[in-house]
């Protein structure tokens, strides 16, 4: 069987990994996995059902049974279009809470690995290079200062018409970083062998160029 090649792009929220990953995937004509969207969908489904974050068995049940569809750039949960809803900071925070539960991560593992199809996959997340695809051909760890990341998120959310302010976003981002970096399973860390890129003073185009050059060298 022909194996899929894999590029992993991990990093904290607002590092630019989502945009860079999608653009790398489209340039190479590869598949794209937005693993954060899966955690966000679960975070949303759990809060919609009024389930508390310590009700682990109920959360796992939702993770195993929730109906998710990715269609023409839209994301549906149980048939409802939640493309924009899952991008809010509150759903991001819920995602980060369910993501700290080891059984949740185990449940989502197979689902994520199933995305690895020829010719290749660009996987965006927190533990793509460290846990989900440890044998990836190229691993990138993309960071940026917390202030810069808050500014980028502000711009993104404003463009979507959401009511946000930079100060609240900075606090929320810092809170989420702490939870993602300090959890016991699959914390946010640079995977072994990952190329660490600080995008604070780089444009998306510059980051994209570096990643594509690395891909050319390694693939």
Give contact residues for ligand DC (rule: CB under 6 A): 13, 35-36, 39-40, 92, 95-96, 99, 125-128, 176, 180
Beta strands across the sheet bearing 31-34: 31-34, 120-125, 5-10, 138-143, 195-198
Left (φ > 0), alpha (ψ -120 to 50) or beta: where does 68 sit?
beta
Residue whose CB is less far from ligand DC, 28 or 38: 38
Q: CA 157 to CA 68: how far, in whole Å? A: 23
- From CA 197, how far away is CA 216, in angstroms rounded? 17
Name the residue with the smallest CB distance to ligand DC: 36
What would you measure as the largest C-alpha separation in the chain, in angstroms?
51
Nearer to ligand DC, 13 or 199 (CB): 13
Nearest-approach distance from CB 169 to ligand DC, in angstroms: 12
State the nearest-atom distance from the C-beta of 27 to ligand DC, in Å: 21
Identify which of residues 9 and 215 has a Cβ nearer to ligand DC in the complex: 9
Q: Which is nearer to ligand DC, 28 or 95 (CB)?
A: 95
Q: Count Cβ atoms within 10 A of the Cβ of residue 122 and give its class: 0-12 exposed, 13-18 middle, 19 or more buried.
A: buried
Least distance in angstroms from the C-beta of 4 to ligand DC = 18
When the beta carbons of 1 and 152 are compared against ligand DC, the nearer one is 152
Calculated CA dihedral for residues 124, 129, 133, 138, nearest 10 degrees: 90
The number of angstroms, rounded, from the C-alpha of 184 to the middle of its chain's C-alpha atoms is 18
Closest Cα to residue 199, out of 121, 139, 128, 146? 146
CB of 172 to ligand DC, least distance (A): 10
Minimum CB separation from ligand DC for residue 163, in Å? 19
Q: Which residue, 192 or 216, has its beta carbon nearer to ligand DC?
A: 192
DSSP β-ladder status, 80-81 and 74-77: antiparallel
Question: What is the closest distance, in whole angstroms, from the C-beta atom of residue 161 to ligand DC in the complex?
Answer: 19
């Amino acid at each position: 069987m022909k194996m899929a090649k894999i590029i992993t792009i991990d990093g904290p929220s607002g590092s630019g990994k989502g945009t860079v990953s999608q653009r790398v995937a489209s340039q190479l004509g590869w598949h794209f996995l937005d693993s954060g969207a899966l955690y966000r969908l679960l975070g949303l489904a759990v809060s919609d059902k009024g389930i508390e974050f310590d009700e682990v068995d109920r959360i796992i049940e939702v993770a195993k049974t929730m109906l998710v569809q990715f269609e023409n750039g839209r994301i549906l949960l149980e048939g409802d279009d939640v493309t924009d809803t899952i991008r809010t900071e509150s759903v991001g925070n819920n995602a980060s809470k369910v993501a700290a539960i080891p059984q949740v991560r185990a449940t989502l593992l197979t689902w994520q690995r199933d995305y690895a199809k020829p010719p290749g996959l660009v996987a965006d997340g927190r533990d793509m290079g460290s846990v989900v695809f440890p044998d990836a051909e190229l691993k990138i760890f993309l960071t940026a200062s917390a202030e810069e990341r808050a500014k980028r998120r502000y711009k993104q959310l404003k463009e979507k018409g959401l009511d946000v302010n930079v100060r609240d976003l900075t606090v929320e981002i810092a809170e989420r970083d702490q939870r993602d970096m300090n959890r016991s399973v699959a914390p946010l860390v640079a995977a072994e062998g990952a190329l660490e890129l600080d995008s604070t003073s780089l444009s998306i185009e510059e980051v994209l160029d570096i990643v594509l050059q690395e891909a050319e060298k390694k693939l």
